[in-house]
Each structure stands twice: as C-alpha cells, then as structure tokens.
Amino acid sequence: MILLFLALVCVLYFLVYIYYKHVYIFEKHLKCFPSPPDIPILGHALDFAFTDKGFLDVLMHYTRNYGDIVRVKTGPHRQLLLISNYNFFQFVLTNMKILKKSVEYRYFHNWLGTGLITSSGAKWKRHRQIITPTFHYKILEDFVDIFESNAKILVKKFESCSDSTSVDIFDLVNLCTLDIICESAMGTSVNAQLNSDSEYVQSVKNMLDIVIARVFSPIKMTDWTYFFTEDYRKEKKALKVIHSYTWNVIKRRQEFLKSEKNENHAGYQKRKAFLDLLLEANSNGEQLTLEEIREEVDTFMFAGHDTTGTGIAFILFCLANNAEEQAKVFMEQKQLFGDNFERPPTFQDLKNMKYLEMAIKESLRLYPPAPFYSRELDHDVLYEGTVLPKGLTLTLFSYALHRNPNYFPEPERFLPSRFQNYDGKMPFAFLPFSAGARNCIGQRFAMAEMKSVVSRILRSFELLPSIPSHELKLASQTILISSNGVRIRFRKRL
C-alpha cells in the first residue's frame, strides 16, 4: 500500500514537473506573442500533419495572419517563435549567447557528426577558427577552373535539350554543383553529371531524403521507433558508402602530402582542396583529429552542394522569365568577354560581374535556399522586457523576412537594381547566408560559384520561359525546392 502511494506521488510529481517545465513556464512568459488557435497537448502539430500545401505554406499562413513574431506549439514538448521581424533577427544573430542549433539538426549527426553546421560550444568555436582561413579570397581563386570545367559539362547537358519546349533544370544543376563541391572539398571527382547512378551520388541523395523525412514524420523522429523503419536500414547503407568514400580520399591525400615528390606526383594538381588545407592545419599543430576532418569534409559536401544548386536553378528561372533583366546581365557579359565567349573567366572577371551579382542576390531574396534556420535557448534570455525561457526554439524565417514590403517594396517582383543602393543600409533584412558568428562560412565560395556557372550558361544560351509557362510550387525540404520542378527553355546563342 505504501509502495503504491509512493509510486502515485512520484507520478504526480513527474506530471507537475512536466507541466511546469513545458507548459506553465512557456505560458507565463510567451502569452504576449500572438498564436493561431491550438488544441491541448498537440498544440499546432495537426496543422503540419494534415496540410495538403506543405510546411512552408503553413509557416507563411501564420506569418500573414498573426504577424512577424508568432508563437507556435509543435507538439507536447516544444514551442517555437516564428520570427520575420527585423529587430528580432538582429537581436538573435548578434547575440553571442544564442549560438546553439535547434534539435532538428541532430538528425544530421550520423552523417556529419558534429561538424561546423551541427556542433556548438567550444568545439564549434575552435573549428570555426581553424577553418575560416581556408575560405580566404586568395584560396578561392584556385577554384575558378573547377567551376568552369563543370559548368561546361552542364552546358553540354542543356544543349541536348535545347529544342525542347520545357526542361526541368533542378536535378541537372544539382549534379553539377555536387561535382564542383566534391572536387573543391576533396580534390577528387565523383562525376555525378556523367554518372548520376554512382553509388556515392545515390547515397548522398538518399541521405538528404532520409534526414528530411525524420524532421516531419512522428515515427521517424524518435530514435527507438526510427530503428524499426526501412529508412534506418537505408541510412546505414548510405552512410557506409559515403563515409568509406571520404575516408579513402582522406587517407590518399594524407599519404600524398607526406610524400617527398609533391611537385611531380601524377594525378594530383598543385591546387589544394579544402581537405588538404585541413590536413596541413593539422600537421601545423592545429590539432584537428582525422575523425574531425572527416566530419568537416562531409559537412562541406552537404552544405555546399544543394544550396548552390538551388540558388543557380532559381536565378536561371528568374532570368528566363524576365527578359529585360536577362538582357542587362548579358550586356555585362559582353563587356567583359567581348566576342570571345569561350575564354574561361578569371577571378577578377567574377568580381567584375556586378549586375549578375545583384541579380543573384535578388533571386536569393525571393528564393532563399535556406528559407529558415533555428536556434535553441540553453538559458533564459531577455528580449525587450520579455523573458524567453530556456528550451524555446527561435526559428528565423528568412523567406518571410525577404518578402516583407516594409523592407522590400513590391516584394514579389524580381528587381535586381534594388540592390544597387542596398548594401549596408539594412544589414538584417537580407539574410540568405544568415549573419553574425554562425553565418555561412562558404558564402564567398558560393557567390563565386553561382556567378561562374550562370555566366557560362548565359554565354551559351538565351534563356526563355517554358511553354506552357511554369508556375513554381515552392516547398521546404532541407532546402527550398519547387515541388513541380524548375522549368525553362534554352536557345543556343550563335
């Protein structure tokens, strides 16, 4: 009897504790923020489970109807603030105490370990310091010919469909950017464009699908139920392929760096891949273990391919559907290349592509490859007099921020010239690469790559709208996609 009584007290105590930690504290501090109608325990979870429109549409619906700071209850345990407010973005991104990523990022751990994207605390800080110099302008110059040679293969692919009335460019562009990042990060080629069936390419694709499925599926979210799913087995298989590829490359590059005959070593060029720079940093006493290097190389492979792929696909779509803007970008190419469109661009050429840069920025504003990114509070934080409790997720919804007419008049229009006088004026209104300490370390690389590939394509083709005209159906996976593809048409330039 006493035991039963004690057990009852324990259960009661546990329930009160859960109520206090997950309901009362949040209710007390966050009631000032507007929130859509919800149901007990599940909160707004059903809005996401039963939408036929997708996650992105639900978030946009909340923002349109409840404002630029919305309180969302994604389940019994979790609450988030959905933020598209300028001051709040600035507050979060400049606060050195809000650096921890939200729990969703843990689904990447089996693949990326705790590389830059997923790590936090002392490990993240140390790695960021060691890796930052590898993205210096001087080093990026070496990658220009990788961009050009892979863009040429993409042009060949487009040539084969230049009579077509409508081509879905999304996957083709993504294979190109996978080749580019593989060569830049590891110094090897997976030939994704020429061999999209390769085991490595398929495994990377599978991992992206599996991770996103875990974010949204209640069964796959929890490790012990995920263990019984087909995806668990698929993940194990894919990771075996990906990790053994990365390990093999690391071992080969390590041996090469040790070898005396660097200069004349057949098969290797003088250009250094990111991996070489990390291995060198290691031998200079910076102390990244080989496992940590593996994590970072896989992180580059993940972070550096479908982001730029999406970015390029959407800018091509924007130019195809805005003939006047395309003409301006093309004019700039003519000024730089004269009649010699076959000349490979130099790094200085890329810097001089100012109008193309504005067009890419405008496309990133409308179609940010990372439409939101999140932080989790590991302690209470005070924001404009309100306590934001520990455990709260802050979701920075850059897609909605970019479409706020207060910051960008006529937000739905593609107007590259708005970036002519933009820089520096409102630094927290345009954030495709995030900002502050955890901003995108690869943004200069990404911008150079996107310019280079788009320039190569524009020098080869006039881009036209597809027939019939194509309306994008935007949706959010690990990145922004269009669920019905990104369709345009090509006309070869003579």
Question: What contacts 209, CB < 8 A, 6 or more positions away?
Answer: none
Q: Closest distance between ligand HEM and the C-beta of residue 303, in Å?
A: 4
Task: State which residue, 118 or 321, has the beta carbon closest to ligand HEM.
Answer: 118
Give the 3-state secondary structure of residue 162.
Answer: coil
Name the residue whose CB lies closest to ligand HEM.
442
Binding mask 76-105 for ligand HEM (x = CB under 6 A): -------------------------x----
**Residues sharing a CB contact under 8 Å with residue 76, sequence separation 6 or more, in sequence order:** 22, 41, 42, 43
User: For residues 179 and 177, what is the distance between their CA atoms, to the nearest angstrom?
Assistant: 5
Q: Which is nearer to ligand HEM, 231 or 298 (CB)?
A: 298
Residue 26 or 300 having the CB closest to ligand HEM: 300
> Does 452 interact with ligand HEM (rule: CB under 6 A)?
no
Rounded-to-integer distance, Cα 52 and Cα 67, Å: 23
Among 89, 373, 399, 422, binds ligand HEM (CB under 6 A): 373
Nearest CB to ligand HEM, comparing residues 203 and 308: 308
List, in order, residues 6 or more apart from 156 with CB less than 8 Å away.
none
The reply on whether position 303 binds ligand HEM by CB under 6 A is yes
Is 440 known as a binding-site position? yes
Q: How far is the CB of 306 from ligand HEM (least distance, A)?
A: 9
CB of 292 to ligand HEM, least distance (A): 13
- Contact residue for ligand HEM among 116, 388, 474, 480 (CB under 6 A): 116
Range 125-164, binding ligand HEM (CB under 6 A): 128
Residue number with CB closer to ligand HEM (115 or 345): 115
User: Is 123 among the residues that bind ligand HEM (CB under 6 A)?
Assistant: no
The interface with ligand HEM within residues 163-202 (CB under 6 A) comprises none
Structural tokens at position 172 = 């083709």
Q: Are 332 and 353 in contact (CB under 8 A)?
A: yes
Query: Which of residues 117 and 273 has its CB atom nearest to ligand HEM in the complex?
Result: 117
Answer for which of 84, 299, 326, 452 binds ligand HEM (CB under 6 A) is 299
- List CB contacts of 444: < 8 A, sequence separation 6 or more: 135, 137, 140
Query: Could you tell me which residues come within 8 angstroms of residue 144 by beta carbon, excluding any fewer than 6 positions away?
Result: 344, 345, 346, 347, 350, 448, 452
Instruction: Report CA dihedral (437, 363, 360, 85) to the nearest 10 degrees.
Output: -30
Task: Give every CB contact of residue 28 below 8 A, 6+ residues apart in sequence.
Answer: none
Region binding ligand HEM by CB under 6 A among candidate stretches 138-146, 252-260, 307-315, 333-341: 307-315
Enclosing H/E stretch for 70: strand 69-73
In the complex, the smallest distance separating the C-beta of residue 376 from ligand HEM, rounded to whole angstroms, is: 11
How far is it, in rounded angstroms, from Cα 404 to Cα 81? Answer: 17
Give the residue from 145, 160, 154 showing the smallest Cα distance to 178.
154
Window contacting ligand HEM (CB under 6 A); options: 150-158, 300-308, 342-350, 416-424: 300-308
Token pair 């990145």: residue? 479
Q: Tell me if 432 contacts ligand HEM by CB under 6 A.
A: yes
Binding residues for heme: 440
Q: Which residues bind ligand HEM (CB under 6 A)?
A: 101, 116-117, 128, 299-300, 303-304, 307-308, 311, 369-370, 373, 432-434, 438, 440-442, 445-446
